[in-house]
Amino acid sequence: MSKTFYITTPIYYPNGEPHLGHAYTTIATDAVARFHRLRDEETFFLTGTDEHGIKIVKTAAEKNVEPKVLADGMVAVFEGFWKEIGISNDDFIRTTQPRHKSSVQEIIRKLLASDDIYAGSYEGWYDEGQEEFVTETEAKAREFKSAISGRPLTRFSEKSYFFRLKKYVPRLLEYIDQNPDFIQPTIRRNEVVSKLKQGVEDLSISRATLKWGIPMPNDPEHVVYVWIDALSNYITALGYGSGDQSLFDKFWPANVHLIGKEILWFHTVYWPAILFSLNLPLPKKVFAHGWWTSGGKKMSKSMGNFIDLVKMREVIGTYSLDALRYYMLRAAPFGSDLDWTDADFLKSFNELKNVVGNCLNRTLKMIDRYRGGVLPARGELQQIDRDLLAQGEKLAALIADAYERVELQQCAELPVQLARLTNGYIDATEPFKLAKDPAQAGRLDTVLNVAARSIHRVLIGLLPILPKKGAEGLSQLQIDVAGKTLDWLYANPPGAGIKLGDAQPLFPNVPPAGAAT
């Protein structure tokens, strides 16, 4: 193991329970992290919670509890759910942890030492749902309402410390220009560039009227603006600014910050400027995915239009966790918006069941029926065999390229396409007819062997997205995936003469009337 890979999710506000949107980013990140672990890269996957700011204070007040009590309760739900669905994060950072707070103060000290912070006063509009300052022009254009939630903006005026954001804009524009992969997808990159070119003000980075936050080290009457506090998590979790920076030295810069598109500006403007000021390298990629929408609006806690925990658990209980993972990543090109529909979910579930599950099942059943469950050796290959094997050979590289580009829909679809081809191969070679003719025994051996070889590759390709079902399927082929790398798995298909396992359906039988939600 030499290469390292560091990937993060946003840290979520614990002002409500996790919903489909949070699960989407977290599952997508999990799939990418699993892929890199399977490639034997030393992988660090970080997620966590963003616990300061006005939003948490307000929700806590509504519930008549202290902000920390609200956060503690909700964090347990987030962490518990990630465990329940087998998320493979290596750390979970809470911004209320002492390790984070002291590192954030250290970061502010460094910004002060570089003379990038000055005292002033802020007067203007604020979107409390997004914890975002809104300029007069933007506020007017949006009729003084939040672009995301539609709720009225608030106005405030108070003393504040400012970060010299404007100063870093030329350097940032140059960086974006020279690193075309830094902001993805390209449409988002273009949005950021055009907004940057319209001009940017210095950033207010402290709040004097808010007490729930990390005190500014130079002026404890102010707390650090929640986004500066939150963005820092990506390095504070690695021990930056603490006594032990070994994780930071190993993993920074991050390979990918995976986020939703509404928080792109924070990640591609504020965060890089802070990193410039700290003299640190920028993350290699910020990938902003689309929104799960409902009736055309972003599904969110504040909108109350979301697929919640109860619904997700119902779907998992009926169709399996991996069916949910597959649906999410398969539903749209990664980066585009998506709309949950039961019909779409069922279509994707049936694709898994009928294409992948059935391909494995029929292959194993034929080997059992015609060869007593023992995988036969293949003989001379015909063109149709060579074609299928060639598609299988290409799969690993195509998938690796798709993960590199974070094209997660492709990552999900590519192996399933091979399963579809394998089913077509079985239909075309007609092993059930070959089995009736003793003169065709050698040909039948070859067909069974090639089909088994092909479904083996399908299941390996699906492992990051279907960790459980992929492993179950491979174990029916007598492959134990524990501790194996992708290279090993691809290079070690079940050998001829091996007694394969019993054919067990990979996916549950759900009555056709079963609704997804």
Quick check: 22 binds ligand ME8 (CB under 6 A)?
yes
- Which of 299, 346, 411, 447 touches ligand ME8 (CB under 6 A)? 299
3-state secondary structure (DSSP) of residue 11: strand
Q: Which is nearer to ligand ME8, 42 or 106 (CB)?
A: 106
Q: How far is the CB of 93 from ligand ME8 (least distance, A)?
A: 10
Quick check: 272 binds ligand ME8 (CB under 6 A)?
no
C-alpha–C-alpha distance, residues 431 and 397, integer Å: 30
Sheet holding 286-289, edge to edge: 91-94, 42-49, 4-12, 256-260, 286-289, 183-184
Q: Which is nearer to ligand ME8, 97 or 485 (CB)?
A: 97
Output the CA–CA distances (angstroms, integers) from residue 264 to 142, 149, 166, 261, in the order listed: 19, 17, 18, 5
Instruction: Give the x/- contact pattern for ligand ME8 in 233-252, rule: CB under 6 A.
Output: x-------------------
Both tokens of 64, joined, read: 């008549």
Residues 430-469 that bind ligand ME8 (CB under 6 A): none
Q: How far is the CB of 333 from ligand ME8 (least distance, A)?
A: 14
- Which of 235, 263, 324, 388 touches ligand ME8 (CB under 6 A)? 263
Q: Which is nearer to ligand ME8, 13 or 370 (CB)?
A: 13
Contact of 146 with 126, CB cutoff 8 Å: no
CB count in 10 Å sphere of residue 65: 14
Instruction: Give the DSSP H or E segment for 442.
Output: helix 441-462
C-alpha–C-alpha distance, residues 459 and 401, integer Å: 18
Please choose, from the candidates 373, 365, 367, the residue with its C-alpha nearest in 3D space to the C-alpha of residue 444: 367
Residues 46-85 that bind ligand ME8 (CB under 6 A): 50
Quick check: 259 binds ligand ME8 (CB under 6 A)?
yes
Q: How far is the CB of 89 from ligand ME8 (least distance, A)?
A: 14
Quick check: 13 binds ligand ME8 (CB under 6 A)?
yes
Q: Which is nearer to ligand ME8, 25 or 454 (CB)?
A: 25
Please choose, from the candidates 203, 251, 208, 194, the residue with its C-alpha nearest in 3D space to the C-alpha of residue 228: 203
Quick check: 24 binds ligand ME8 (CB under 6 A)?
yes
C-alpha–C-alpha distance, residues 271 and 249, integer Å: 19
3-state secondary structure (DSSP) of residue 447: helix
The number of residues making up the chain comes to: 517
Say how many residues touch ligand ME8, by CB under 6 A: 21
Specify burial of residue 435 (Cβ count, 10 A radius: 0-12, 13-18, 19+).
middle
C-alpha–C-alpha distance, residues 477 and 375, integer Å: 9
Instruction: Give the x/- contact pattern for ligand ME8 in 466-485, rule: CB under 6 A.
Output: --------------------
Q: Which is nearer to ligand ME8, 150 or 170 (CB)?
A: 150
Quick check: 292 binds ligand ME8 (CB under 6 A)?
yes
Contact of 94 with 75, CB cutoff 8 Å: yes
Q: How far is the CB of 48 from ligand ME8 (least distance, A)?
A: 9
Q: Which is nearer to ligand ME8, 75 or 355 (CB)?
A: 75
C-alpha–C-alpha distance, residues 89 and 48, integer Å: 9
Which residue of this chain has its Cβ atom nearest to ligand ME8 in the complex?
A: 21
Quick check: 10 binds ligand ME8 (CB under 6 A)?
yes
Q: Name the residues that contact ligand ME8, by CB under 6 A.
A: 10-13, 21-22, 24-25, 50, 230-231, 233, 259-260, 262-263, 291-292, 298-300
